[in-house]
Structure 1
Amino acid sequence: MTSKRYNLFSAHLKEVFGGRVHKISVDAGFGCPNRGGGRGRQGCLFCDPGGSGAVGIERALPVAAQIEAGKEVMRRKYKAGRFLAYFQPFSNTAAPPEQLRALYDEALGVADVVGLSVGTRPDCCPPQVLDLLAEYHLRSYFWLELGLQSVHDATLDYLRRGHDYRCFLRTYEQAVARGLRVCVHVILGLPGEDRTRMLATADEMARLKVAGIKIHLLHVLAGTPLGALYEQGEIAVLGQKDYVRLAADFIERLHPDTLIQRLTGDGPRHQLLAPLWSLNKWEVLNAIDAELERRGVRQGAKCTAP
């Protein structure tokens, strides 16, 4: 039982496994088709050259060794006993199924790893890869994590995402048809989006009844195109109070069954340009809890989906 006013992913894992389960991030050496290559793309405005979530990963090690190293850290910090291997940086389905199978099997072969979470882009999930992922859904606890950021094509184009919302929707529907749990990543505070447009993304996620969601705060990193725009004064970031209110608004509109896997974002301290308040992660999370308490509402209070 949790006192939270939203559907907390960690509580769900405790219910499923009878105890705490922690994610260990893995870098399997993938790149991103949105950066150069045959498509001639420059990559997303906000993405770190090392790939999202790459901080702290021993990327020179094989997958199994990365997990073992991560297990030691989690055991010392949290007394963790069971783990999900999270293939996080870049596009972790951008390879032939045989190569993917070898990597996923290596991760599942590590003691105390009870499942997988695979992060990728919606344009990197052809049918044969989704078929493979469906196999892992049947044999383990499995999540497919799809980066979306916004349902608005104008925003996706500005961010240089290299796909539109229709592409996401097609992949999402094909994944759900195969029984996959899908966690969708969205960002609040994107340039050009006001409150109405951001909450339209929440309403669409509610309509889809997504199994899981990660709500990220837009944070600006040095060495990214977005960082250059910020330093030139061309974009602004949300203040903490504005973000807390928006996050609470977003939660109110989500479907009550959606599992919330993340409620804020925090970039690497040595790269973070703004907003610096995001480094106080627990302060932000506690403020969101307090805002929901002040309103007397729970997740789904303003959900418009049937």
Structure 2
Amino acid sequence: MVTGTKPYRDYNSYLRNLFQCRVHKISLDAGLTCPNRDGTLGTSGCIYCNPRGSGTGAYSKGLSIQDQIRDAKSYLAARYKAKKFLAYFQSFTNTYAPLEKLRQIYSEALSDPDVVGLSIGTRPDCVPNAVLDYLQSLSQRYLIWLEYGLQSAHDATLRRIHRGHNVTQFVDAVERTRARNLPVCVHVILGLPEETLDQMIATAKFLSRLDIQGVKIHVLYVVRGTALERLYREGHYRCLTREEYVEACAAFLAHLPSHVIVQRVTGDPHPKELVAPSWTLEKQKNLQALLAHMDRKGLFQGKFCTLPQATSFPLPV
């Protein structure tokens, strides 16, 4: 059973234990793109993705990586008392560029003395071995996480949301990343079109059989200007209610191995972009609803996981 104040292994506690201080992520926009956007895959992007690629849009405003870090540091230090930072390359696909370009942007982020590592959001079909080799070399001095967008363990769902890769490609990326001892965080979305609760739980069971170190759990919400908005307005997609999401998220966690670090259990929609559901804006209320549900049902991370539980974090320090 997971111990501590939450019924799952939370990310903030992991970072505090690792660095002995408050560590906060800084979301960065490096001005990269995505093969699901630039025509490489012959698609126009995932059905839910906003024009900024789920990022800040800072690059289009002329802000360099150093500018973005400097601005965020002062705010996060004042609000959260953060002393160290992880540079989170969030917008679009952050290994989708020539290696020299990646060296440049990663080095720029790591040049800040308060940045202790990188979290790199990317796709499992965009991680060539040369890039992984370079990140492995960085991991000798910094904490380096690869964050892979899987979203669902069902190929039919991935096709439905125009994801542009399949589950086999994801497994291959995880295996090549772990062969270099780089920790992997997997992004999943609950409430994808036509997925049932059993299918969402099946994704958790699938991940429990893989060598992963973290997950981010998102709820699907409708963003203005996306293909999903059109489906929603035409009546072809129904959003989860808060109660349905809480049930699904709790069940997902209960089938996830207890050693996996849970980096997120809610989303952060932009208020001006959100179409539905409005309850996703109430982050603290959603978190409290999840904790209350898990307490009431006696649920905790790993409760229904039948595989052996790891006893320590297999991560570089």
TM-score tier after normalising by the smaller chain length: over 0.9
**CA–CA separation in structure 1 for the residues paired with 2:59 and 2:298:** 40
Deviation at 1:262, TM superposition (A): 0.3
**CA–CA separation in structure 1 for the residues paired with 2:291 and 2:249:** 10
Which residue of the partner structure matches residue 156 of structure 1? 158
Deviation at 1:263, TM superposition (A): 0.1
Q: Deviations over 1:174-203 (max 9, x none)?
A: 101110100000000001100111100000
**CA–CA separation in structure 2 for the residues paired with 1:228 and 1:37:** 21
Deviation at 1:173, TM superposition (A): 0.7
Which residue type is aligned with residue 131 of structure 1?
D
**TM-score, length-normalised on structure 1?**
0.97
Range that drifts further, 221-230 or 128-137: 128-137
Which residue of the partner structure matches residue 228 of structure 2? 226
**CA–CA separation in structure 1 for the residues paired with 2:295 and 2:276:** 28
User: SS where residue 91 of structure 2 aligns?
Assistant: coil
Residues 57 and 304 of structure 1, relative CA distance in 2, 3 Å threshold: farther
**CA–CA separation in structure 1 for the residues paired with 2:111 and 2:47:** 36
The within-5 A match list for 1:265-280 is: 265-280=267-282
Alignment equivalent of 1:210, drawn from 212, 229, 237: 212
**CA–CA separation in structure 2 for the residues paired with 1:212 and 1:229:** 31
Deviation at 1:55, TM superposition (A): 5.9
Alignment equivalent of 1:264, drawn from 245, 262, 266: 266
Deviation at 1:56, TM superposition (A): 6.8
Compare the two structures and name the one with the higher helix fraction: 1
Task: State the Cα RMSD in Å.
Answer: 1.4
User: SS where residue 153 of structure 2 aligns?
Assistant: coil
Which residue type is aligned with residue 65 of structure 1?
D
**TM-score, length-normalised on structure 2?**
0.93
Q: Deviations over 1:82-122 (max 9, x none)?
A: 11010000000011212111111110111311111000011
The within-5 A match list for 1:57-96 is: 59-96=61-98
Q: Deviations over 1:122-154 (max 9, x none)?
A: 111011111112112222011100001001000
Alignment equivalent of 1:133, drawn from 121, 127, 135: 135
Residues 6 and 56 of structure 1, relative CA distance in 2, 3 Å threshold: farther
The within-5 A match list for 1:243-262 is: 243-262=245-264
Work out whether 1:196 is the aligned partner of 2:198.
Answer: yes
Which residue of the partner structure matches residue 112 of structure 2? 110
- Indicate conservation of the 8 Å contact 2:41/2:164, yes or no: no
- Indicate conservation of the 8 Å contact 1:55/1:268, yes or no: no
Deviation at 1:59, TM superposition (A): 4.7
**CA–CA separation in structure 1 for the residues paired with 2:62 and 2:28:** 11
Which residue of the partner structure matches residue 185 of structure 2? 183
**CA–CA separation in structure 1 for the residues paired with 2:277 and 2:178:** 35
Which residue of the partner structure matches residue 31 of structure 1? 33
**CA–CA separation in structure 1 for the residues paired with 2:83 and 2:33:** 31
Deviation at 1:42, TM superposition (A): 1.2
Q: Runs ≥4 in structure 1, deviation > 2 angstroms? A: 36-40, 53-59
**CA–CA separation in structure 2 for the residues paired with 1:281 and 1:56:** 23
- Indicate conservation of the 8 Å contact 2:28/2:58, yes or no: no
Alignment equivalent of 1:15, drawn from 14, 17, 32: 17
Which residue of the partner structure matches residue 298 of structure 2? 296
For structure 1, the residue ranges without an aligned partner over 5 or more in a row are none
**CA–CA separation in structure 1 for the residues paired with 2:65 and 2:196:** 41
Count of residues in Structure 1 that have an aligned counterpart in Structure 2: 306
**CA–CA separation in structure 2 for the residues paired with 1:200 and 1:99:** 38
**CA–CA separation in structure 1 for the residues paired with 2:95 and 2:212:** 20
For structure 2, the residue ranges without an aligned partner over 5 or more in a row are 309-317
